[in-house]
């Protein structure tokens, strides 16, 4: 008899070329990582791949040869549950419940958000890259167990850049 072990998926989006050390720490120990677009540079995916296998989609700001190789949507199966990944949830062109998905993962808005609709978890981890307006910098974690998906938003403790040292003029 095989037991159903919980699987952990790290979810990150909108890094825009910046993979914060706090994000790396928050994602350690996951079974898989999903990047929901606006990656910025291919080295972000390489560095995430050192933590766990990565599934990534192209965001509206991802350009160049490396980005053209990324699909605009992906399907990932974790622990018997199908996860649908795209950058902008407004471009969702299917009924996820009818299609058999347990979760829809997106980014784009930079706003962390999770909501269950008709038995499907809609999950946006927010932005893990440069801070936008007063929105938090965050990543997410999904736990898949017994055919269900639960999400958690993890706000990252980001420190403002240090100000240049001030000079004191001696008079």
Judge whether 161 lies within some domain. Answer: no
Give CA–CA dist 150/136, Å, rounded: 21
pTM of the predicted model as reported, rounded to 2 decimal places = 0.89
Judge whether 39 lies within some domain. Answer: yes
Judge whether 105 lies within some domain. Answer: yes
Percent residues over pLDDT 90 in the chain: 84
The string of pLDDT tens digits covering residues 114-124 is 999 999 999 99
Judge whether 48 lies within some domain. Answer: yes
Judge whether 162 lies within some domain. Answer: no
Q: How many domains does the chain have?
A: 1
Judge whether 166 lies within some domain. Answer: no
pLDDT of residue 159: 58
What residue numbers bound the domain in which 122 lies?
A: 7-155
- The CATH number covering residue 109 comes to 3.60.21.10
The DSSP string of 83-107 is EEEES-GGG--S-TTTTTEEEEE--
Judge whether 164 lies within some domain. Answer: no
- CA angle 160/47/5 to nearest 5° reads 105
Give CA–CA dist 34/71, Å, rounded: 13
Judged against a pLDDT cut of 70, whether residue 49 lies above it is answered with yes
Helix H or strand E encompassing 62: none
């Amino acid at each position: 008899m095989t037991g159903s072990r919980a699987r952990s998926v790290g979810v990150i989006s909108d890094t825009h070329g910046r993979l914060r050390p706090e994000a790396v720490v928050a994602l350690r120990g996951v079974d898989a990582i999903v990047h929901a677009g606006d990656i910025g540079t291919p080295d972000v995916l390489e560095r995430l791949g050192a933590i766990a296998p990565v599934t990534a989609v192209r965001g509206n700001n991802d350009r160049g040869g490396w980005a053209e190789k990324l699909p605009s949507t992906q399907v990932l199966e974790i622990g018997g549950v199908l996860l649908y990944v795209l950058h902008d949830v407004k471009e969702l062109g299917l009924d996820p419940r009818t299609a058999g998905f347990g979760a829809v993962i997106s980014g784009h808005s930079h706003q962390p958000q999770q909501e269950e609709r008709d038995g499907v978890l809609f999950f946006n981890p927010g932005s893990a890259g440069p801070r936008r307006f007063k929105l938090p910098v965050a990543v997410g974690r999904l736990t898949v167990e017994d055919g269900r998906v639960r999400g958690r938003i993890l706000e990252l403790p980001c420190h403002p850049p240090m100000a240049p040292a001030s000079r004191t003029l001696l008079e």
